[in-house]
Structure 1
Amino acid sequence: MDIDEAVKPIHHQLLVAFSHSNRAMQARTRAGGLKPGQPKVLEHLAFHEGCTQRDIGRACVMDKSSVTSVVARMEDEGLVERRAKPADKRVATVYLTQKGREAAARVLDFRAEVDAIAWQGLDAREREELSSLLDRVIENLQANEEGTCA
């Protein structure tokens, strides 16, 4: 097997990058009293209030049961509230409470800190290129999951 030493396995690079980024976020969010799963839901809701749990699951790459338990815990802790959709009372939408908005603002601050660490040494062009390339990698992997990849 001929392996190009200059190109490392992307799976491993993504895994290592995620692990370091996740640990940095967890250290900050745990110190802020948040439990696993809550920061990414808060981050999503900061920009998409009134979405459904299904929307949260898709955006946060969480399965249905995980979203249900995380949102229920967040509701118990006063971070979110669920409201029936006016057009279809069977569908609940999720909104931040004031306490949830404050927690979401802290999560966004933590995200900015971790991003600043990750972006060190990369200029604006490199950041834009990396972001674009990662979007393409994500699209490829999603297409594979959905069975639409060639």
Structure 2
Amino acid sequence: MEESLHYLLMTDYLLFQKAFLAGVKETNLTPGQPKILDYLLYHDGVVQKEIASACHIEPATMTSVLYGMEKKGYILRKNLNGNRRSIYIYLTDEGRSLAKQVESTFRTMEEKTLKDFCKEEKEMLTAFLMRISKNIQGEVSDE
């Protein structure tokens, strides 16, 4: 059982997540917030729906996570062009600083995780994970 693909994927995810959250513990971020900060660092000023899709978070959950982030001063919501349905999300200066810290922690975790991998193995792993993701997304959308 310990060598089955599903077991290895779940175990590796949980170990990575646990180590990552320990690395950002002093920030008091909740589990969904780091990936949102990381996404906004490179896609600032996007609508909530785009963030939810990119981060694989349900829209209702996204609303509550963003509300908490706004309360903490990490993001701003801006209504552009008078369209109340299109609210754009922006990082504040504090949010940008925190996002950079999160990105640094992600990079450190990736380096530790892949320390014994050569460049070609890293590229292959990335390609395999992307194919797995594509296959799973195809299965979910087919249902």
State the TM-score, normalized to the length of structure 2: 0.93
1:130 to 2:135 alignment? no
Match of 1:122, SS state, is coil
How far off is 1:105 after superposition? 0.5
How far off is 1:87 after superposition? 6.8
Amino acid at match of 2:124: E
**Which residue number in structure 2 is paired with residue 109 of structure 1?**
104
Quick one: which of 15, 21, 28 aligns to 2:23?
28
How far off is 1:33 after superposition? 2.4
Quick one: which of 36, 58, 68 aligns to 1:41?
36
Percentage of pairs with the same residue: 28
1:1-150 residue pairs with structure 2 within 5 A?
A: 8-86=3-81, 88-147=83-142
In the alignment, is the contact (CA less than 8 A) between 1:29 and 1:35 conserved in 2? no
Structure 1 residue ranges, 4+ long, deviating more than 3 angstroms after superposition: none
CA distance in 2, matches of 1:74, 1:44: 14
CA distance in 2, matches of 1:136, 1:48: 24
Match of 2:77, SS state, is strand
User: Which blocks of at least 5 consecutive residues in structure 1 are unaligned?
Assistant: none
CA distance in 1, matches of 2:36, 2:30: 11
In the comparison of the two structures, how many residue pairs are matched? 143
- Calculate the aligned-residue CA RMSD, in Å: 1.7
